[in-house]
Each structure stands twice: as structure tokens, then as C-alpha cells.
Structure 1
């Protein structure tokens, strides 16, 4: 049996199917709200800007909770925080179904973001703990596929479920997933994934680590902040909500295709070149919808943004797991914090443009910010690799 196989089958380890299922759930919950923003606003009496604010608040609490989750994970273990977050997310999901007033729903979705924020970074940390080299890159790529499936399921189904049944159903579904995953985690223990020992938290605040977090803020605004608007932009172009969900699900198709391609590219290209390639794909995506906003261009943008996520973002994730190995969970959590902080800020800043129907301006801003991101990430990672090689 290979070392990797031993890690996956040893008693107490988290099985791959459970890791991937948690990734699916995390991204389903994260991306279920944007496709039903118009329906949610109409049926609750919220403005579209207020409905977008629910997504932004979710992302903000998702981000702000990361340092706390990372500290707890490094100190007490990975499985402990996964269980805690799954219980918390289940409660927040139920609470989200009980309120329609803006303030109370905002609190419930913020709590959901806080709890969901623990899940994906902890999965990255587990993979960083147990794999290295190409095996790590492939593990991250596989996690991207299941995360994309969660995103695709949310994009395809959430809008239609909300339109033809009730928006509360969409918010309530993750609670059932949490309960199932808690059952599957009942025999897992921290020793299976977490290498205990002294934790040097200062490593998570080195110059290199802070640079990675800065890049993550920009990527979050560019990649995830704009992602919120695919379905609303399609609806603004008079596409029915069910069809808009299908077209926007091109994002998930792009992630899956990009992840499969990434499994081959990782053996041929350096990580710096992969970042440059992923950034170029993202640039092409936003260029399409900057010129015109119609079903063809927005669908093309969704597919290309998804492919970029699989190539650029997974490369950044790999960098985050290596920049501070002595405090890996804390560093990965701070990376995720920065990523979703950037996403939240990007969404907050562009919400007035969405409310005015100016989606072309949003995609144009994404185009300009992507050009900056490509320059910063490729130069920064190349410099880090040179210093590490000395």
C-alpha cells in the first residue's frame, strides 16, 4: 500500500468521500443565495441591494471568523472544529428559514457564514497535513471538483426551488447535509489528520505570509465578488430564472473542466506559470461580458471564471498551505479570511451598480482588477520561490 493510501484508510482518518462531501456542502451553502436574489427580494419585500447585502454579510462573517477557526484547529485539532462548525451551520440554516425581516435574516445569514467559514479552510489544512507535492496538488484539484459540483447544484437548483416552492427550502437544505456529515464523522479523531506539537503562530505573520493574504484580498474581490452577479445579470437580460440558473452553472462546468486539466498541467508547468495561465483565462472571461451583457457572453464568462478558479485559485491555495507550515491551519485560515474579506468588500462596493442594472460596469471593473492581480501574483510567487531556493 502506498503512503497516500495508508493515510486514506488508517483508522481515525477522515475518508476522502467525507472530505469531498463537506466541500460540496460548503459551496452549496455559499452559492445558493445569489441565484435566488431576485425571488428573495420580491417575496420578502427587500430591495435587491438589501438582498445582495445578505450575501455580502455572509462573506464578511465567513472571512472574519477564519483567524479564530485557524487558531482552534492548530491548538485542538481538525475534526473538533469540523464538528463544531457543522452543528453551528445546521442551527444557522434552520434560523434562516424562520425570519423574513431584513435585520433578523441578516443576522441568521451572518451566523451561517461564520460557521461555514470553518469548513473549506479546514479541508485544505487536512490535505496540507497529509499530502505533499503532486499528491497535494491532485487532492486540491479533486476538492475543487466537488466544490464545483456544490456550486453547480446551487446555481442550477436554488433559483428554481425558491421560485416554485419557497426560498426557505434553499436555506434549510444544508441543515440536513450537516446532520448526515456529523454521523459520518462520528468515528474520526484528531490524531488521524493533525500532527500535534508546538505551534509557531508567528510564522503565520511573516512577510511572505502577509503578502499571500494581500493577494487573496484582491483575488476575492475579482473572482468571488463578481461571481455573485451571474444570475442577476442574466435575469436583467430577460432570461427566465430557471434558464439563468442553467447558464450560470457554466461556472461549475468550467471548474470541473479546469480541475481535470489542472491534473495534467501540474506535472508540466511551475506554479507561477499556472497562476499566470489562470489569470489570463479570468481576464478573457471578464473581457467577454465587459463588451456586451447577453446570455452568450455571460455564459462564456461563467465558464472561463470557473476554469480560472480551478487553475489560479487552486494554485494560490497550494501556496497558502506552504507559506507557514509551522502554523498551517492558522495561515490557511487567514488566507481564507483575506479571500472572503475581499469578496465581501467587492460585493458591497458593486451592489449599487447591480441595483441600477449596470452589470457591464461591474464586469469592466473585474477586468481591470484582474490585470493587476496577474502582475502581482506572478511576480510575488516567483520572488518567494527564489528566496526559498536559497
Structure 2
């Protein structure tokens, strides 16, 4: 091609071509359901902490360790799963992760005491942590262009549904029935998906020769650094929405319901993102998401009342659908020869950023949450400049 380059991101140009997308080797409904399952299990424990304190005879601080240990192994396992995905293949890793999730969930139900429960949940988190990155990697292998972005948005919709169902239903099921029912549902889902995978064959990524070293070159490493910053802002500071409401006297149930509107924001944002991506490149999607995130925390810095923080939660979810999904899409693109490794390291960096943000800002909560939200506004501007600028530069250097 010579002369003027056609306007638009090459992903969108590919999407507008008449060439059909190849059928994904994993059925799209199965990929989305697996995404739902991974986030359902990940977020199911927190709403049941009070139940655990009563039934297991432990303090709340001890019960919280069920979440801490699970998330720690969930995050630390990401790099290992990525390396295995590029070495052994996506399907072997997915089957191993589902088998571990199934066994871990059954063992959770049968745990003889709190210490055993703590260890089992942590190990289960290690296996569940492989599910979502595996789905992202398969999407990266199976789709190109705007079709890839739309499928990532669809996957995000189902992870948001998993988060929302766990947040709203896990506590109620634990009170009305038994907390074991919640993890029993994970076991049923993992077992069902294992059966459905029996006849599935996943080819290697379109003939791409795997070279794990590519995951540690300049651009992927830069993307991991962006993941740290974005995870800290989007996922870490999101943690303070519910406590900020409770500080002003709102009940835990109502504050939790407000916090759950984050999931509604992801679902609505994913619906919009799938329509915008056909007209705007990924750089523009990142800019829209970062701007939305800035507005979200600006509202929170001005007021910590119910209307403002409800809008903040919804807008953070919307930003997730634009910003986070675009960075995830970039992670599937930046090193195709080490796609599973790159995706897993990016996911891990976002988790670590989330943990670091809450750790660094936790000491500021005694004076309220306004200062935290104000500082986050500034950090969001930095993120916007770095993410938008670097993606535009990467796109040009790639040959756009």
C-alpha cells in the first residue's frame, strides 16, 4: 500500500472487510460461561464472611483471610498459568484448571474445619485464576480486529454477571440454605464444562511459533506497568465505594447494593463498547474509558453521598468496559508468539496494582475518603496520558 493510509485502526479495517471470521475452536457460549464461573467463584466468599464467623467460630478478621489467601494465590498463579499455556497448549491448561476448580470446590464443601477451609480455598483460587486469562487468550487466538474487541466485551459482560450474582446472591443463599451450596454451584459448573470440553480440539494459535521471551520485551513490559497503574485506580480504589457509604450511616445491605451497580456499569458499557469499536480505534476506546474514569472519581471527590457514589460505581464499570477491555485487547496483540504468557502477566499486574493501591491508601481512610478520591483523579490523568500516548505510538511503530 502506498500513498495515504486509510483512516482507522487496522483492527477496524479488518472488521470492515468481507472476509468472514473463522469459527472459534471453543464455542462462544462456553467461553462466556467459563468467564462467568471464574468471577462468580472469585467474588462469592466476601458476602458470606459474617456467616463464616458464626458457623466456624472465628473472628471477622480471621474470616477475611479466606478472601486474602484466595486472591493472593489467584494473582500469583497468573504467570505460571501463562507460561504453561504457551508451553502445553490452551486446552490442557483449561482442563487442568477446571479439574482443579472442581476438586477444590468439592473439598471446600467437605472441609473439616476453618484451617482446612482456608488452605483449600487458597488452592482453589490458584486454579480458578487460570480460567479468565485462558478465555482471553483463546479469544486472541480465534478472532481478529473489531470482532476480537466485541468478543472481549461480551466476555466482560458475563464476568460482570458472575460478579453481580455472587455479590447479591451468595450471602442470601448462605443464610437461607447453607454456604456450601454456593461452592457446590461452582463444582457443578466446572464439572459440566469439563464434560463439554471432551470433544473440543484447540489448534495452536493460527500457526504462530511460540517464543515466551517475546512476553518480556519492551512493549509487553510497558503494558504490565500500565496494568499496575490501571489496576490500582480502577480495581483498588473501587474498594472504597461501599465503606464510604457506610461511613455516612448507610446500612451494609444498601451500601453493597450501590457497590453492585459497578456490574451494571460493565454490562451497559460493554453494550456500548461493542457498537463504538466498529467506528473508533483502540486508542480512542482507551481515551473514552480514561475520561469516564476521571469523571467517576471527580464526582466521588466532590460528594460521598448515595447519588454521587452510585454514579461513580456505574461509571467505573463503564470505564472498565472501554479502558480495561481495550488494554486486555492490547495484551492479546502485543506479543502473539507468547500470547498466553503476556495476557496472564497483564492480569496479574492489574491484581497486584489493586492490592498495592489499597495498601498504600488504607492509612488515609481515617480522615474520610475525599482525599483518596481527589488523589485518584490526578492519577487517572497520568494514566490517560500514558495509556493513550503509548498505544498510539505502538500502533504507529507497528506499521499503522
**Common topology (TM > 0.5):** yes
Report if aligned partners of 1:237, 1:295 keep a CA contact under 8 Å in 2.
no
Aligned counterpart in structure 2 of residue 201 of structure 1, from 201, 206, 212: 212
Question: What is the CA–CA distance in structure 1 between the aligned matches of 2:150 and 2:322, rounded to whole Å?
Answer: 12
**2:392 alignment partner in structure 1:** 382
Pairs within 5 Å for 1:139-154: 139-154=151-166
Match of 1:264 in 2: 275
Unpaired segments ≥5 residues, structure 2: 1-17
Residue 64 (structure 1) aligns with: 76
Whether the 8 Å CA contact 2:208–2:336 is kept in 1: the answer is: no
CA shift at 1:292, angstroms? 3.3
Deviation of 1:327 after TM superposition, in Å, equals: 1.2
Measure the CA separation in 2 of the matches of 1:172 and 1:384: 45
Residues 161, 167 of structure 1: 8 Å contact kept = yes
379-388 vs 46-55, greater mean Cα deviation: 46-55
Secondary structure in 1 matching 2:129: helix
Which residue does 1:77 correspond to in 2?
Answer: 89
Separation in 2 of the partners of 1:389 and 1:167?
A: 53
Corresponding residue of 1:291: 302
Aligned residues: 382
Deviation of 1:222 after TM superposition, in Å, equals 1.5
Return the index of the structure with the highest Cα Rg.
2
Map Cα deviations across residues 115-167 of structure 1 (whole Å, 9 max, x no partner). 11111111111111111011111111111111111112122212333444444
Q: Which of 132, 136, 148 is 1:124 aligned to? A: 136
Return closer, same or farther for 1:297/1:58 CA change in 2, 3 Å cut-off: farther
Determine whether 1:7 maps to 2:17. no
Shift of 1:186: 1.7
Unaligned runs of 5+ residues in structure 1 are none
- How well do the aligned residues superpose, as a CA RMSD in angstroms? 2.8
2:287 alignment partner in structure 1: 276
State whether residues 14 and 188 of structure 1, in contact with CA within 8 Å, keep that contact through their aligned partners in structure 2.
Answer: yes
Rounded Cα–Cα distance in structure 2 between residues aligned with 1:180 and 1:235: 39
**Which of residues 316, 319, 336 in structure 1 aligns to 2:327?**
316
Residues 236/376 of structure 1: CA separation in 2 closer, same or farther (3 Å cut): same
Q: Residue 31 of structure 1 aligns with which residue?
A: 43
1:249 aligns with 2:260: yes
Whole-angstrom distance in 1 between the partners of 2:262 and 2:51: 21
Tell me the distance in 1 between the aligned counterparts of 2:131 and 2:271.
23
Change (3 A) 1:37 1:366: farther
Query: Structure 2 matches for 1:208-227, cutoff 5 A?
Result: 208-227=219-238
